[in-house]
Amino acid sequence: MAEPSDGLRPRFLLWLSVRFMTLLLQNLVNGLLLGGLYVCIAIGFSLIWGVLNIINLLHGSIIVLGSYIAYYAFTMFGISPFLAPLFVIPMMFAFGYGLQLAVLNRVVDKPVLITLTLTFGLDLILNNFMLAAFTANFRRVVFKDPFETLDLYGVIIPVDRVVAMALALVLTLAFYLLLNSSRIGRAIVAVRNDRDAAVLMGVNVKQIYAVTFGVGAAFAGAAGCLLSVVFPISPMSSGLYLGKAFVICVLGGLGSIGGALIGGLALGVIESMGVMLAGPEHSVLTGFLVLLAVLAIKPTGLAGKRGYE
Amino acid sequence: MLASLAASFPARPLPRIGVGVLIAVALGLLIALPLGLDNYYMRLATTVLMYCVLAWSWNFIGGFVGYPSFGIAAFFGFGAYAGAILLSAKIIPFWLSPILAAAGCFAVAVVIGMPILRLRGHYFAVASLGLGEVFRELAMSWTALTGGGMGINLPPMRPAFGTEAQTFYYAMLILALVTLGTTIVVARSRLGVAFRCIRQNEEAANMIGIDATRSKIIAFAFSAALPGAAGAIYASWVGYIDPSDVFDILNSVKAPVMVLLGGTGTIFGPAIGALIYLVFEEFVTHHLLQFHAGMLGIIIVALVLFMPHGLLETLRRRKQGQA
């Protein structure tokens, strides 16, 4: 009975630490995969906020609308949700462009309370329409032959999520190219940096506002297509997506793609770690506490700048 | 638009006797009202009073100080839960529950106000909006205390005199009068001046010796304590509360919408807005169950786009334009 534990304890500790590292790595991977989608949720929201100085409370509902279009394209015509952005982007662009031109341009210079109340009212209308049309039941995209999962030394990687994240990053890259290499993109950036100077340079600001809102809505819709593969779809989810977009913008800073990228990935990782430590029912709370902590240290967000108050 | 909100609160010279008679008649009508109403209209009257409390309370932080707060739902719900928990433990009488709820909300608002009142504009608006979501999440998950998603059933009340409906009507009436009184007192005090200075230019206010942080926290705490008391009365009134009911995000939006409806710039604007809103709501809920929230959205959009000065002011201007 001498010391059987002498041989066992180190081996047990080794086993424990390997298990722990695997768990940690698994949560990191989960977080990054989630974070890629979060980036896509946030870029449109960040663009509209940065350029128009409007918090678009419709954002969550537009994402959900994108999810529904992808869902019905899949169940009715068998089109893969990964291809749905091809037609959802133009549809949502037209929707956003029209909405800004007809409605939001009328209040774009008004105080925060007014623009917030207006987009809240618009969100009530859109969300209620979806609730009436699609009901509150959660729907799910179920593939006939499901995607596989990879197993890398105990870390499980679901392939569908990898594809979704890769597409999200491709969309982000496209967004970057649009802003930096196209004429219209340069005009958007010009309006964001200095509206009055942009007017003097011959930019039609109302037009650019409408294009900006259209682009923001288009990317929200595209994010919705990708999310439809990963999360169940319901009009009730819109508030959740909206909250995430806001937290990401504050974490990463406003109006810049790099900021949304960092904020999105960070929130994904923070949430998965929070889920590991505190349980999944507290993921909203974790996000909000992180947000409060960041704001308490830096009231305009981590990379935020003054002037958009 | 908001600039005119509190600016016209200072006393306008009015014939004193006329005002006294008017107030006495109005009070008499409000006190005598339950005698002539059946249960359905009693419920409506109590709801109008509750909405008045919410609108006037929002006015402290949203109107006077000019911070776009969407935090009413958080404190309404907090007060409702505080009252419900205390009452169902049977350790306090009914009349004490709104007072304790208000005190609790005041304290919580002071603590939370310190970090979030450093934010401005959109950041403050969304942080205050998120507050309600966090409170709801807490009420959902702290099952031992709050019953979680099951909610809380309150013990039935045995009113000392009159009917139950009358008791809640008078409780809400007293609270509405307290809120109105606080509004008038604050509007005419040094604090009211400080609030208005902060709205116009916070840096300048700091410069002339106003403690902006302290003033903002006081305004935020007023905007929290009074809805908290309303929440506690509401909890006893409806007899059952759950997180999605009392932390409903719509409550946060209703308050500013009512103030905008009634027109900013008068003491009684919010009350008129509350009345108009209730008429809309009753009409809408009774006829459009499927599209209730959407109809509210349409009203909000129409209000913001076509009547940014409130319903009454817009009608008055139109009349003047024709004449």
Contacts of B62 in chain A (CB under 8 A): 113
B319: in domain: no
Query: Which pLDDT score is estimated for B6?
Result: 44
| Rounded Cα distance, B267 and B134, in Å | 32
Answer yes or no: is B311 within a domain. no
Give A-chain residues touching B115 at CB under 8 angstroms: 292, 295-296
Contact B292 A128 (CB under 8 A): yes
Are residues A243 and B130, on separate chains, in Cβ contact within 8 Å?
yes
How many domains does the structure of chain B reveal? Answer: 1
What integer best gives the mean pLDDT of chain A?
82
Task: State residue B6 phi and psi, 5-degree precision.
Answer: -95, -15
Q: Do A132 and B294 touch (CB under 8 A)?
A: yes
Q: Give the helix, strand, coil percentages of chain B, each rounded to 5.
A: 75, 0, 20
DSSP assigned state of B161: S
What's the rounded Cα separation, in Å, for the pair B268 and B143? 41
Asked, for residue B101, whether it belongs to a domain, the answer is yes
CATH number for position B67: 1.10.3470
A109-128 mean pLDDT:
85
Contact present, A260 and A248 (Cβ < 8 Å): yes
Residue B186: name the closest of B65, B274, B71 by CA: B65
Per-residue pLDDT at B13 = 52
Residue B225: inside a domain, yes or no?
Answer: yes
User: Amino acid letter at B19?
Assistant: V
Neighbouring C-beta atoms of residue B251, cutoff 10 Å: 23
Does the beta-carbon distance from B116 to A295 stay under 8 Å? Answer: yes
Interface confidence, given as ipTM, is 0.76
- In this prediction, residue B5 has a pLDDT band, given cuts at 50, 70 and 90, of very low
Residue B83: C-alpha distances to residues B148, B157, B162, B228 (Å): 16, 13, 22, 9
Task: Return d(Cα A50, Cα A305) in angstroms, integer.
Answer: 10
Within a domain: residue B270? no
Residues of B in contact with A292 (CB under 8 A): 115-116, 127
Among the partner-chain residues B2, B137, B253, the one whose CB lies closest to the CB of A284 is: B137
Give me the residues paired with residue A149 across strands.
A158
Evaluate if residue B16 carries a pLDDT over 70.
no
- Check residue B7 and give its pLDDT: 47
Q: Is the pLDDT of residue A1 over 50?
A: no
What H or E segment, with its residue span, contains residue B248?
Answer: none
Decide if A58 contacts A122 (C-beta within 8 A). yes
Domain that residue B7 falls in: 2-254
Number of residues that this document lists for chain B: 323
Residue B91 tokens, joined: 């350790």
Lookup: tokens for B175 = 């609270």
Nearest C-alpha in A relative to B112:
A292
Of the partner residues B115, B294, B296, the one whose CB lies closest to the CB of residue A296: B115
In tens, the pLDDT along A74-111 reads 888 888 888 888 898 999 999 999 988 888 888 888 87
Per-residue pLDDT averaged across B9-33, rounded?
70
Chain A CB contacts of B113 below 8 Å: none
Q: What pLDDT is attached to residue B50?
A: 92
Q: What percent of chain B has a predicted confidence (pLDDT) above 70?
A: 92
For residue A278, the chain B residue with the least C-alpha distance is B141
At A135-164, the pLDDT tens digits run 778 888 777 766 777 777 777 777 788 888
pLDDT tops 90 at residue A64: yes
Q: Nearest CB to A122: which of B119, B301, B308?
A: B301
Chain A residues lying within 8 Å of B298, measured CB to CB: 121, 125
- Comparing A92-96, A180-184, A285-289, B21-25, which segment has the lowest mean pLDDT? A285-289
Chain B, 279 to 318: residues with Cβ < 8 Å from chain A are: 290-294, 296-301, 303-305, 308
Residues found in chain A? 309
pLDDT of residue B197: 87
10 Å Cβ neighbour count for B183? 23
Give SS3 for A252: helix
Higher per-residue confidence, B316 vs A70:
A70
Average pLDDT over residues A278-285: 68
Query: What is the tens place of the pLDDT at every residue in B130-171?
Result: 888 888 888 888 877 877 777 788 877 777 777 778 888 888
Q: What is the mean pLDDT of chain B?
A: 82
φ/ψ of residue A158, rounded to 5: -75, 130
Residue B25, pLDDT > 50, answer yes
**Which of A194-198, A213-217, B64-68, B229-233 is least confident?**
A194-198
Instruction: Note the pLDDT of residue A202.
Output: 79
Cα distance from B69 to chain A (closest Cα, Å)? Answer: 8
Phi and psi torsions of B7, nearest 5°: -60, -30
Token code pair at residue B23 = 């107030």
Contacting residues of A for B68, CB less than 8 Å apart:
111-113, 116
- Say if B307 falls within a structural domain: no
Give one word for A307, left, alpha or beta, with left for phi > 0 and alpha for psi -120 to 50.
left
Q: Is residue B272 part of a domain?
A: no
Kindly determine whether residue B294 and residue A124, on different chains, have CB atoms separated by under 8 Å.
yes
Could you count the other beta carbons within 10 Å of the beta carbon of residue B40? 9
Give whole-number Cα distances, B270 to B96, B134, B140, B263, B264, in Å: 27, 28, 32, 7, 8
Give the model confidence (pLDDT) of A39-48 as tens digits. 988 888 888 8
Q: What is the CA radius of gyration of chain A?
A: 22
Q: Please check whether residue B2 touches A, CB under 8 A.
A: yes
Distance of CA B305 to the CA centre of its chain: 24
Taking the mean position of all CA atoms in its chain, how far away is CA A15?
Answer: 37
Q: Which residue of B has its CA nearest to A125?
A: B294
- Please check whether residue B266 lies inside any domain of the structure: no
* Dist CA A191 CA A108 (whole Å): 13
B23-34 residues labelled b (16+ CB within 10 A) or e (exposed): eeeeeeebeebb
Residue of B nearest to A113 (CA): B68
| pLDDT one-digit tens code per residue, A182-234 | 888 888 888 887 878 888 887 788 888 888 899 999 999 999 998 888 888 88
**CB distance A66 to A218 below 8 Å:** no
CB-CB neighbors (< 8 A) of B304 in chain A: 107, 114, 117-118, 121
Per-residue pLDDT at B40: 83
Residue B211 has pLDDT above 50, yes or no: yes
